[in-house]
Structure 1
Amino acid sequence: MGRNTLDAIAVVVPAHNEADHVDGCLRSLGSAMERFASTHPEVLVTVTFVLDSCTDKTSEIIQRHGAADPRIAGLCVQHRNVGASRAAGVRHAVNELAPLASGGSLWVACTDADTRVPEHWLDSIARYHAAGADAVTGTVEPDRRELDPGIFALWQAAYRPVDGHHHIHGANFAVSAAAYEAVGGFQPLEAGEDIALVSALRHAGYRVDASASLHAVTSGRLRGRLREGFADYLATLAGHGTRVGSRAGK
C-alpha cells in the first residue's frame, strides 16, 4: 500500500516577547506559504503562534497579520515554558486541522518567532514526507546582522551543516502528527524539548532524516529567552572560545 497523501501542515511557533523579530518570521512564513500554495494547492496550511506570557506587542502583531490572513492565528498561554508552549500549540493546531483532513497525513512544522525559514521550507517538508520520512531535522545559522563577525566565525567552525547531521533545532523541525502523538509529543521542558522528542522518535523506530538543505536563519543575540538555548551557546563562544556543547547541536 502506498504512503498516505499529505493533507495538511500545521506550523507551530512559540513566542515570548518577540516583537522585534516576529515580523521577519511572519514574512518568511508568508513567502513559504505563497510558494507552497502554488505547488501544493491541495494541502491545507495553518500557522499557530503560541503567545506565552507576552507583555510586549507580539500579540498585537500576530492579531494584525491574522486579520489579513485567516491561516494565521494566535494562542495565548501562561506556561513560561517552551516545551509546554510547543505542546499546547501542536495540540490546538492538530485539533483544528484533523476534522478537515481526508484520511491522509497531517504534519507539524516547528519554527521560532525569532527565525526566518526559507521560501522552499514547506515544499521541502512535503518532499521528505513523500520520500518516507516520519520527521526531518534542519539546520540553522545565527543572523549575521546581530552577531560580531568573530563570533560568527567561531560558530561556523564548530557547526556542520551537512546531510545526516546531528543538529536538532526546534526552530527548524517537522514531524508527522501520528509519530509525534505516538511518542508523547513535546515534554514540558524549559530547554531541550526538541532533543527529547527526536530521541523518542528514533528510539521508537521512526525514520528521522537530517537535512542540510532545510536551512533557516535564527537570531544571533547573545541573551535569549531561555537558559541553555541557542543564545547561551553563542554567548559561550563569545566568552570562552569554541567549546562545543549540547546547544551547538540545537
Structure 2
Amino acid sequence: MCIPARNEEAMLPALFAALAALSVDGTSVEACLYLDDCRDGSVALVDRLGPTLPFRLHVARGGRDAAPNAGAARRAALAMGLSVLAGREGLLFTTDADSTPQPDWIAAGRRGLSQAEVVAGRIQRVDAASDPQQSHIEHYYDRLHRYRRAIDPVPWEARDTHHFGGGANIAIRASAYRALGGFLPIPSGEDARLLDDAARAGLRVRRDAAMIVETSSRRQGRIGGGLAGQLLALDQGEPPRMADPRGAAWQWRAQAAARQSFAMIDRVDRRIALGERLGLSADHVLGVARDCPNAEAFAMRIVPAPAFHSGQVSLSDAEDLLTELESQWCEIAA
C-alpha cells in the first residue's frame, strides 16, 4: 500500500485504523507512507502510532520546500513500494491519506488484478448526500461509461463498473507499473494519465466498483484541479459543463471497429475501410498496427479525438443527449 501525505495529521488516524482493519487472508501486506513536506504534526503522529500498527509501516520524508505536486508525491510513494518488492512481482495499491479503504479492499483488488493489469476502484465521498449536484454529475459519468462498454465491450471489464479512475483507489501489478515508468511527476492528473498510458500500451484497465475507498468531501484540497476544487466550484454556483457525449460516442464506436479490425489488419480491404472511417490512409493504419502489441493498444492509439461534437454542454443537455444515444443503441442491439 503506497500512500502520499501532505499535512494530513487530522486524517492519518482514520487511515491507519482502516488499514489495520483490512482483511488480507494471510497475504503479506506492508504500507509505504511518503510524507510530502509535512509541516503539521504528521511526523510526530507517525512516530507515535507506527510501532503500534499490526502491519509493517515504511516511512519516507521528502518534498521539502517544493510546490505541491501530486504526481511527484505519488511517484515517490510507489517507488517505496517497488523498493520493498526488490524486483519481485507483486501487487501495488495506492490511496490518499484523507481516504479510508473498505475492509475487503485488498481482496477486491486481487480479484480484479486476476482479470487485468490495472484496476481503478470506486471512490465514494463521505457525506455524499450533502453534495447532491456532485452526486448527480457522478451518476451521469457512470451512465456514460456503461454506455461505452455497451458499444465497445472488453472481457476484462467489471460487471459492476464505473467511470472514475483516481489515485485514491488504484491497484496495479508491479511489472505493469515498471513497464509504464510509473506515475508522472506532474502537479495533478497523474492518475488519469497512468490509466491512459496503460491502455495505450495494451494493458487491461479494469474499472471495478467492488474495490471501494471512501474519501473526504473537504473543500480545501492539497493541490489544484482535484475533487476539493470541484466541490468548491459547485458551492459557489458555477454550473457544471460536460464534454458533448456525441463526440465520445463516435470515438468509442471507432475504437470498437479498430479492435475488431486488428486481427485482420493484413487484409487491405479492412485497412481501407478503417482508414476511411478515421480519415487516415490504409498505409498509416498498417504502420500504427505494426507498432501495437495487441488490439487494445491499437484501438487506443489509432482513433483520433473527435473532430465534431467536441465542445461542452450543460449537464442537463448532456443527459438528454446520452438518453438519445442509449435509445439508438438499444434499437441497434435489438
Instruction: Please tell me the residue identity of whatever aligns with 1:60.
Output: A
Tell whether the 8 Å contact from 1:28 to 1:118 is kept in structure 2 after alignment: yes
Deviation at 1:64, TM superposition (A): 2.2
Query: In the superposition, relative to structure 1, how do residues 195 and 122 fare at CA in structure 2: closer, same or farther (>3 Å)?
Result: same
Q: 1:87 aligns with which of 75, 87, 94?
A: 75
Show structure 1 runs of 4+ deviating over 4 A. none
Deviation at 1:241, TM superposition (A): 5.1
When the two chains are superposed, the root-mean-square deviation of aligned CA atoms in Å is 1.9
SS at 1:17's partner residue? coil
Distance 1:110 1:123 in 2: 14
* Residues 86-105 of structure 1: pairs in structure 2 closer than 5 A: 86-98=74-86, 101=88, 105=89
Deviations 1:107-144 (A, max 9, x none): 110100000110000011111122x2101101212221
Deviation at 1:148, TM superposition (A): 7.8
Question: If each structure's strand is expressed as a fraction of its own residues, which one has the higher value?
Answer: 1
SS at 1:44's partner residue? coil
Identity %: 28
Instruction: Please tell me the residue identity of whatever aligns with 1:58.
Output: S
Instruction: Please tell me the residue identity of whatever aligns with 1:31.
Output: A
Unaligned regions of 5+ residues in structure 2, if any? 147-159, 244-334
Deviation at 1:56, TM superposition (A): 0.6
Query: In the superposition, relative to structure 1, how do residues 245 and 73 fare at CA in structure 2: closer, same or farther (>3 Å)?
Result: farther
Tell whether the 8 Å contact from 2:113 to 2:171 is kept in structure 1 after alignment: no
Instruction: Please tell me the residue identity of whatever aligns with 2:38.
Output: C
Which protein has the larger Cα radius of gyration, Structure 1 or Structure 2?
A: 2
2:93 paired residue number: 109
2:7 paired residue number: 17
Tell whether the 8 Å contact from 1:110 to 1:173 is kept in structure 2 after alignment: yes
Q: Tell me the TM-score normalized by structure 2.
A: 0.62
Deviations 1:33-90 (A, max 9, x none): xx21xx2x1x321111110000111122222232123511211011532211111111
2:125 paired residue number: 142
Deviations 1:171-219 (A, max 9, x none): 0111111111111110011100001101000110101110112222111
Q: Tell me the TM-score normalized by structure 1.
A: 0.82
Higher RCO, 1 or 2 (CA under 8 Å, sep at least 6)?
1
Distance 1:57 1:148 in 2: 31
Equivalent pairs counted in the alignment come to 221
* Residues 199-238 of structure 1: pairs in structure 2 closer than 5 A: 199-238=196-235
* Residues 34-73 of structure 1: pairs in structure 2 closer than 5 A: 35-36=23-24, 39=25, 41=26, 43-69=27-53, 71-73=56-58
SS at 1:191's partner residue? coil
Instruction: Please tell me the residue identity of whatever aligns with 2:61.
Output: C
Distance 1:242 1:63 in 2: 44
Tell whether the 8 Å contact from 2:112 to 2:208 is kept in structure 1 after alignment: no
Tell whether the 8 Å contact from 1:65 to 1:72 is kept in structure 2 after alignment: no
Question: If each structure's helix is expressed as a fraction of its own residues, which one has the higher value?
Answer: 2
Distance 2:242 2:123 in 1: 16
Distance 1:218 1:235 in 2: 16
* Residues 192-203 of structure 1: pairs in structure 2 closer than 5 A: 192-203=189-200
Tell whether the 8 Å contact from 2:15 to 2:97 is kept in structure 1 after alignment: yes
Instruction: Please tell me the residue identity of whatever aligns with 1:86.
Output: R
